[in-house]
Amino acid sequence: MTANSTFPALERALSEAGAPVTLFFRDDDGGWEDVRLRALLELHERHGMPLDLALIPDALSPQLVRDLERRAARSDALGLHQHGRTHLNHESAGRKCEFGPSRKAVDQYTDIESGRNTLADHFGRRVDPIFTPPWNRCTQVTVVSLSALGFRVLSRDRGAEDLNPFGLTELPVDVDWCGVLAAAGSLSHGGALAAMDRGLARAATQAEPVGVMLHHAVMDAESLEVEDALLALLARHPQARCGRMIDLYPQGAARNMTASSGARG
């Protein structure tokens, strides 16, 4: 283990793993706080590390669209996919949700289709058939609409409510980067960094890809500095493999088909 490692538990888990550990980084809310988004993009580019952006179709500015087009054209390490349509809450009570139980099927379908078409107009075939619902929440109605519209992957929190996948693969996130910070108040609080390290290490012991959820809009310089240390560790460690979500899709599809056939039997 590297002396003074920022992530000692993760580094130990990687070193003790019997096979390479696959990770991906999903950054939500593309379209908000463009300056902070560019800082995150540049950090990943410096390390040569893949990053998947969950884009809010109705929030994208022309300037951001041009910037992402340039970046995606010069590197296949940048993934783009859909993050709802407007990222607005439609629930009058309970947890926030853009595609929640109070919305009719036709309204969900129409919003998802509109967002999909907006992203296709901006980025064409560079958009991956992945859907991340705002707040990581959606309903069975949402899944049916996604399947009908040609999506292949749904990404939520690991441990989210079970839904009939209707042919979709689930590729969940395990570690909520900004959620850990919010719980501890600041990365300068030693407990926050230790909790993040433990969460990453725990996820690295599972057989599934490890998903790290980011929210660039609330990531300050301190948070980027710590992520810089994480990316440096992953770049140098022989047991770490970082990829784009779409590249992990075939693995997840095989697992889901096996699980679904067993459930039907």
The answer on pLDDT for 4 being more than 70 is: no
Question: Which positions ≥6 away from 139 have C-beta within 8 Å?
Answer: 99, 100, 101, 103, 108, 163
Confidence class for position 149, pLDDT limits 50, 70, 90: very high
What is the predicted pLDDT for the residue at 174?
95
Position 186 scores a pLDDT of 61
Q: Is the pLDDT of residue 113 over 90?
A: yes
Please report the pLDDT score of residue 167 as a whole number: 92
Q: Domain residue spans in the chain?
A: 8-264
pLDDT-based confidence at 179, cuts 50/70/90?
Answer: confident
Confidence of residue 250 (pLDDT cuts 50, 70, 90): low
What pLDDT was estimated at residue 192? 83
On whether the CB atoms of residues 204 and 21 are closer than 8 A, the answer is yes
* pLDDT value of residue 184: 64
In a 13 Å sphere around the CA of 214, the CA atoms on its Cβ side amount to 27
Predicted confidence band at 185 (pLDDT cuts at 50, 70, 90)? low
8-264: CATH, from 3.40.190.80, 3.40.120.10, 3.20.20.370, 1.10.3190.10:
3.20.20.370
- Torsion angle, CA of 1/39/126/146, rounded to 10 degrees? 80
pLDDT surpasses 70 at 239: yes
